[in-house]
Structure 1
Amino acid sequence: MSEVDPPILVSRLGADLTPAYCELSDTLDSRAELEAIRRTIHQHPELGFEEHRTAELVAQRLERWGYAVTRGVGGTGVVGTLRNGDSGRSVGIRADMDALPILESTGLPYASVHCGKMHACGHDGHTAILLGAARQLARTRNFDGTVHLIFQPAEEIGAGASGAQRMLADGLFERFPCDAIFGLHNHPGVPAGTFMFRAGPMMAACDTVTITIRGKGGHAARPHQSIDPILVAGSLVMALQTIVSRNIDPNETAVVTIGSLHAGHAPNVIPESAKLELSVRSFSPEVRTTLESRIRQLVTSHVEGYGAAVDLDYRPGYPVVVNSEAETEFARQVAEELVGPDKVVGQIPLISGSEDFAYFLQQRPGCFVRLGNGAGRPLLHNPAYDFNDDNLTVGAAYWTRLVERYLAA
């Protein structure tokens, strides 16, 4: 892979003597290098807090291009810092690095060499895009201030120990001050190169509930001598579906999904217990509180009504991704300048998926952007998924221009 070109220390000027910000054509010469980086990361996926190879690849590239590099932030996180000029302004751009515990089925030449692990969410592409921006920013130095490029581990790992939470606990914004922070995620089903925005709540809070129903086991031929936890579980599945339909304002959005139900091992045995696992999603603190309260009340009374007992573990997950108005409008304008209004969606519908980038947005204003990964391509978290390499130079140009505009000289 090629070394970065020597820095261009003087900003390019347009005919009106205003700075000429990054264009799509400016990053095209990086395509082969970024594709190689993306595919080697894809081929060697690493789960949350195991991203040692990926983090070192990132750190070495950043150091080669003149960044001050800090390793081990929040575990395996990497922050690259580049300063130019004498402004006190600063901005952060984040990319996630971790893979998923999924067996890849793409059959691609660069498919995962680690059985049961793959980049099924495009974090390999997000990382390569930000490295592309790092290279371009180092080449041109067309900004006045400080940019912190944040390569985050463990976005997929879940609340309580996610990469964003650990980086913040490790003093991310105290050590690397950011006036605002921006992040990006690819979006299958939308044409590649299409930028998507939403001011305010954008992605859902996600809580996880584990319900263990404890009945009384016995012989299948003598159910009257038992308390059947499977019967209770089946009834509870239907009862839980009334929470959204009869407790949440129809103008609000909420989801209660029973994703797992396990009980018993033989057809002629009534088991002692049954376990359900729920995913609960919402977009406002009030709805989130109502969902938890009603689930706790309904589950307890419903199970006890059958004479069974219940253990309920309610685990709060990632909060709502809330994009700040000003930063979202700014990010949208940058996209329109770069790719034109026909490839920009200004206010997309709510997304019921979740993201730990929400924790960053609780502490700094910013915007989480979606970038189309191609119509008709496999969905996220799918064994057949692959990131669209056509987005590599587009995304790199976008982050470069956004930094240049935010830190305009």
Structure 2
Amino acid sequence: MKLKKLVQQVMEEVITLRRHLHQNPEVSGEEIETSRRIQQQLEAAEIPFKTGFAKTGVLGIIQGGKPGGTVALRADIDALPIQEENDHGFKSIVPGKMHACGHDAHTSMLVGVGKVLQQMKSEIEGTVLLVFQPAEEDAPVGGSQQMMDDGVFEEFKPDAIFGQHVWPDLPAGQVGVLPNEVMGASDRFAIRVKGSGGHASMPHQANDAIIVANHLISQLQTIVSRNTDPLDSAVLTIGKIEGGYRYNVIADQVLMEGTVRTFKSAVKEMVKERIAHIISGVEKSFGASIELEYLDGYPATVNTPEWAAQVKSSAQKVLGREATPAVSPSLGGEDFSRFLLQYPGAFYWLGTSVESTEKQYPLHDPRFKLNEEALSKGVELMTQLALDTLDKLSQKEEAC
């Protein structure tokens, strides 16, 4: 009951902060005012912090009154280059920019968690790190690796790290967590087909890059349908095509951009290899020149089973035994994956679907909304998770 009361005491501030951030979104690498606002909030709560990580990243540090382990809690802070199409009173006032992935909620909830834990500081066994990460949407570069390269965990190394993400596919008050893979590896590629142009009435004098691209697209789709084990997961999508000049001109070049999503590293490498082989074959068949640029993106987000189980336990403790339904992993990419390559931990989803009277639009949609009633549940869960994790770490230390 004490925790719930403390959470409720900070919720007005959490919602106010979330709405301010929503109105004033900053995209990857530009989160200067967002970072400044976070620092102001931490300073007002008397939470020590450090800056200078990945340019705009912030690390809040709560050292408990008792010795113990270290748990890190992460929130991403950047927005997307999307023009918001909602009409609520706090819609984005920045043209072409929007918090369409809920990072405004992640940031405000983590600030709320910090404020609650700071009030409980004397009871805490160990240290809680509040990691405010920029540039999550800047794939394949991201901000997590840069934060680590800049020494975000140089003084305090996490024994466990957790990330929370709003999830419109789940009702408010439900939590999605999986013991292993939860999000996919997200690579991207660009393919430039170079043929030779000419008049549309004389195709025999040209090498039509659009025809070459058409055959290439068809063959690339066989990688998933005919080269991937049906029990594994892979997606290959061509999301953009540019080529041609006008109706009566044969195109000499076509640019295609796409993405590859996988869970297993072996599947990812197979897809990369097959793309190169197919390009080589089409190139020879049509006498065209085809260039491939393949960018390795975020790796798959793979939870540590022990800490995924802790998320489930903490969620059921504060939200009820029905709060953790069975969920399937997503092939969406997530920069938190790089934290999990270095430290044990877990990434989980917080249900934020809007009331049934409204249509729920997905993440990254210009009409995306979230249910603010879920924010208190997210603050309470992450606070309880930090406390439970530190308690578990202390028990492990005593048993040694």
TM-score relative to the length of structure 1: 0.92
Name the SS for the 2:116 alignment partner: helix
Residue 156 of structure 1 pairs with residue 101 of structure 2: no
Write the letter of the residue equivalent to 1:157: D
Structure 2 counterpart of 1:364, which letter? Y
Give the superposition deviation at 1:29.
Answer: 2.6
Matches of 1:258 and 1:136 in 2, distance apart?
46
Hey, what's the Cα distance between the residues in 1 that align with 2:83 and 2:387? 40
Of 355, 375, 382 in structure 1, the residue corresponding to residue 334 of structure 2 is 355
- The alpha carbon displacement at 1:129 in A equals 0.6
Deviation at residue 274 of structure 1 after TM alignment: 0.5
Asked if the contact 1:185–1:371 (Cα under 8 Å) also holds between the matched residues in 2, the reply is yes
CA distance in 2, matches of 1:189, 1:331: 19
How is 1:260-275 mapped onto 2 (pairs within 5 angstroms)? 260-275=240-255
Which amino acid counterpart does residue 355 of structure 1 have in structure 2?
Answer: E
Q: Which moved more, 1:294-303 or 1:215-224?
A: 294-303
**2:165/2:350 contact within 8 Å kept:** yes
Identify which range, 318-327 or 59-68, moves more after superposition. 59-68
Superposition pairs for residues 204-219 of structure 1, below 5 Å? 204-219=184-199
Find the counterpart in structure 1 of residue 370 from structure 2. 387
Alignment of 1:125-164 (within 5 A): 125-141=105-121, 142-160=123-141, 162-164=142-144
1:160-195 superposed Cα distances (whole Å, 9 cap, x missing partner): 3x1112101112222331111000111112211211
Aligned to 1:39: 19
- Measured after TM superposition, the shift of residue 21 of structure 1 is 7.0
Deviation per CA, 1:372-405, whole angstroms, max 9, x where unpaired? 1116421100001123211221111111111111
User: Aligned partners of 1:74 and 1:172: how far apart in 2?
Assistant: 9
5+ unaligned residues in a row in structure 2: which ranges? Answer: 395-400
Aligned to 1:324: 304
For residues 339 and 159 of structure 1, the distance between their equivalents in structure 2, rounded to whole angstroms, comes to: 35
Structure 1 counterpart of 2:320, which letter? G
Partner of 2:398: none
State the superposition RMSD in angstroms: 1.3
What does residue 221 of structure 1 align with?
A: 201
Secondary structure at the residue paired with 2:153?
helix
Tell me, yes or no, if the aligned pair for 2:300 and 2:333 is still in contact at 8 Å: yes
- Pick which of 322-331 and 59-68 moved more: 59-68
- Does 2:163 correspond to 1:183? yes
Q: After TM superposition, list the pairs within 5 Å mapping 1:186-335 onto structure 2.
A: 186-335=166-315
- Offset of residue 314 of structure 1: 0.7
- Given that 1:143 and 1:403 are in contact with CA atoms closer than 8 Å, whether structure 2 keeps it comes out as no
| Matching residue's letter, 1:390 | E
Q: Give the whole-Å Cα distance in 1 for the aligned partners of 2:278 and 2:223.
A: 9
Residue 187 of structure 1 aligns to which amino acid in structure 2?
W
Letter in 2 for 1:199: P
Provide the C-alpha distance between the structure 2 equivalents of 1:308 and 1:73, rounded to a whole number of angstroms.
46
Compare 36-45 and 139-148 and name the one that shifted more.
139-148
Between the aligned partners of 2:69 and 2:199, the Cα distance in structure 1 is 72
Give the match's secondary structure for 2:95.
coil
Runs of 5+ unmatched residues, structure 1: 1-19
Tell me the SS of whatever aligns to 1:31: helix
Q: 1:257 to 1:238 in 2, by over 3 A?
A: same
User: 1:96 & 1:336 partners in 2: Cα distance?
Assistant: 25
Pairwise mapping of residues 116-131 of structure 1 onto structure 2 (< 5 A)? 116-131=96-111
CA contact (8 A) 1:182 1:367 kept: yes
| Alignment partners' CA distance in 2, 1:276 and 1:84 | 53
CA distance in 1, matches of 2:151, 2:165: 24
Q: Which residue of 1 aligns with 2:346?
A: 367
Q: 1:118 Cα deviation (Å)?
A: 0.5
Q: Percent identity?
A: 38
Q: CA deviation at 1:234?
A: 1.1
| TM-score for the superposition, normalised by structure 2 | 0.94
1:55-107 CA deviation, whole Å, 9 max, x = no partner?
11111111221211101212100000010124141100000000000001102
